[in-house]
Structures are given as C-alpha cells and as structure tokens.
Structure 1
Amino acid sequence: MKFPEYETKRLTLRKLTEDDAEGIFQLFSDSLVITYYDMEALSDISQAKQIIHLMQERFESNTGIRWGIRIAETNELVGTCGFNSWNKDMKSAVIGYDLRSHFWGRGIITEAIHQIVKQAFGGGLPCGDLNRIQADTVPGNIGSELVLKKVGFKEEGLRRQCGYWKNQFHDLKCFGLLRSEYKEV
C-alpha cells in the first residue's frame, strides 16, 4: 500500500521518515504545542524517532495515517496531521493535528485539514470512503476549536473526565463532521 501524498497551495503533506526526527523533536519539545497533549515535552531526539516509528506502524497496520506538514517553498517540516484511528466498518475516523507554535495564526493547519478531509470523504485513503470524522479538544484550546469550525466541524458535546494524562482527568469536547455537511474550499 503506497503512502498517499498531497499538495495544497502552500503545503506538501508527505510521509514522515527518520530524517524528520529533528523537526518532530522541535515540534513536540515546545511546551506551547503540547499544552493540551497527552504527553510531556520531548527531551531527547530518540523520543522523536519513536513517534515517527509509531506513525509508520499505524499506517502499515492500516489503522491510521499521519502526514508531515511541510512548507512547499522551503520543504520545512512545521507540523503533522492525520487520522489517529479509523473504523472501516463504521466509515469513521478520528483526526489529529499539531503545528510548531511560531507558525500559528497563518491558516496552515486549516489548509492541511481541508486537504485530508477532502481525501477522506472522497475515498482517497486506505480506509476507504468515510462518512464521519471526529475530533476531540480539551476545553480552553480555542485555536484548535477555531480550526475545526473553519473546516465545518460541529461541536457535539462535552465528555466529562474522558481523558487522563499528566496525572489528572480531562474533559473533552467532541466535534464531528459528516460527509454530507462538508464544503470544499
């Protein structure tokens, strides 16, 4: 199964390789990026390599996919996006994304998410044609909520103390997007 790659007006979405370890380390060692994440800031490049390996395994086992987001003009890795999991039988998936903090506010994540959602609803992924995509945010993560709403996701409710990381329980806001609701940009 070939890893799908995409281009947008400003970005390329490609498979992560071990050559991306430094970029992944920069991304996940930034305390601003991982504020709402279920992980601590990376402290060693070997941890970045483990993350890349995990993302590769997810694709190889056909349980999810994660792209490296690159600025097309410079090829600089600035974030990742993808489907953390999918259920072929239910035609649904859970989306996730992250971006280096000094690239926030430029519409990069919104552009990348539009691209992968379009592919997911068009049957262009190994999981087949999806009907629903879900996203979860931690209350207070306004930037992430704005991205989801720009793409067309609807807030569906609060799942109280649904997550547990960093030694505490976290509420999660659930957002959903149906194929019939999605409007391409």
Structure 2
Amino acid sequence: MKFPELETSRLILNKLSRDDSLALLAIFSDKNVVKFYDIEAYKTEAQSLALIDFFNSRFAENMGIRWAIRLKDSGKLIGTCGFNSWNPKMKNAGLGYELSSFYWGLGYASEAISKIIELAFSVDTPFHELYRIQGDTMIGNIASESILKKLGFKEEGIRRASGFWKGEFHDLKCFGLIKPEFIEI
C-alpha cells in the first residue's frame, strides 16, 4: 500500500524519512514537547532514527500510520501526527501527535489532525475505514485538550492510573470522536 500524502493550505503531510532525524531530534529533545509524553527528552540522533523506523514499520505492518507535518512553503518538519494503532474489526484508532514548541498556538496541529481525520473517515481511505478515533491526554495538558475539543472530540472520562512512565502512574483523560460528529476545520 502506498503511503498517503496529504496537503492543507499551509502544510504537507507525508512519510518520515531518515533524513528527518535531526529535525525530529530537535523536536523530541525539547522538554516542553515531551512533558506529557511517556518518554524522556531525546539526547541522540540514534533515538530519532529509531523513532522514524518505528513509525514507518507500523505502517508497513498495517498497524498504524504517522505522518510528518511539514510547512508547505519550506518543507521544514515541524511535528508528526497519526494513528498509533488501529483496530479494523472494531473500526477504531488511537490518535497521537506532537509539534515543535516554536509552532505552538498557530493552528498547525489542528489543521494537520483535521486532515488525517478527514481521510480516516472517508470512504476511499487507503487503510481501514474508521468510525471512532480516541485521543488520550495527561491531566493538565490543556493545549492538547483544546485541540481535541476544537476538532469535535468529546471528553469521555478519566482513566485512573492508566499510564505508567517516568517512574509514576498517570491518570489519562479519554476523548472520543465518532464519524457523524466530525466537522472539518
């Protein structure tokens, strides 16, 4: 299956390549970006290369997909977004994304995520037709909650001690979006 390339008014969404390793390292080495992630800030290019390989292997194995988020005018990598996992039988997927902190608050994350959701909910989707998309946030990640709500996700509750990383348990807020509720931005 060919990796789907998408375009918005300001962004190109395409496959990550190993040439993106330094740009991805810059994003994932920012402690503000990984504050609510289940990883520590990256220190080496080898870590970003491994992440690129992981994201691309998920697509090759038909288990998920992660797009590079690039500025249309320059091609600069500013983040990634995609479906970390999907369940074709249940027609659902888990959403994941991050953006360089230099580009926070400019609407790029919402723009990119809206585009991939539009594809996921379309009849002509190149992978699995989805009916439900779930996004989880750590308690306190107001910016991520804001993005999900802007895209029509509904807060469905808190899963207590649902995650364990950085030496402690974390409660996660669960947000869900079903196909009939999606409104393109």
TM range (shorter): over 0.9
Q: What is the TM-score with the length of structure 1 in the denominator?
A: 0.98
Q: What is the TM-score with the length of structure 2 in the denominator?
A: 0.98
Deviations 1:46-102 (A, max 9, x none): 110000000011000000000000000011000000000000000000000000001
Q: Is the 8 A contact 1:88 1:127 kept in 2?
A: no
Partner of 2:91: 91
Matched residues in 2 for 1:141 and 1:176: separation? 16
What are structure 2's unaligned runs of at least 5 residues? none
Partner of 2:57: 57
Q: Is the 8 A contact 1:24 1:48 kept in 2?
A: yes
Matched residues in 1 for 2:33 and 2:83: separation? 18
Query: What amino acid sits opposite 2:53 in the alignment?
Result: H
Q: How does 1:5-154 map to 2 (within 5 A)?
A: 5-154=5-154
User: Runs of at least 4 residues of structure 1 off by over 6 A?
Assistant: none
Q: How does 1:154-173 map to 2 (within 5 A)?
A: 154-173=154-173
- Residue-pair matches, total: 185
- Give me the CA root mean square deviation: 0.8
Moved more, 126-135 or 139-148: 126-135
Post-superposition offset of 1:125: 3.7
Matched residues in 1 for 2:165 and 2:127: separation? 29
Moved more, 117-126 or 159-168: 117-126
Matched residues in 2 for 1:5 and 1:122: separation? 15
Matched residues in 1 for 2:134 and 2:21: separation? 28
Q: Is the 8 A contact 1:123 1:130 kept in 2?
A: no
Post-superposition offset of 1:11: 0.2
What are structure 1's unaligned runs of at least 5 residues? none
Query: What amino acid sits opposite 1:6 in the alignment?
Result: L
Q: Identity rate of aligned residues, in percent?
A: 52
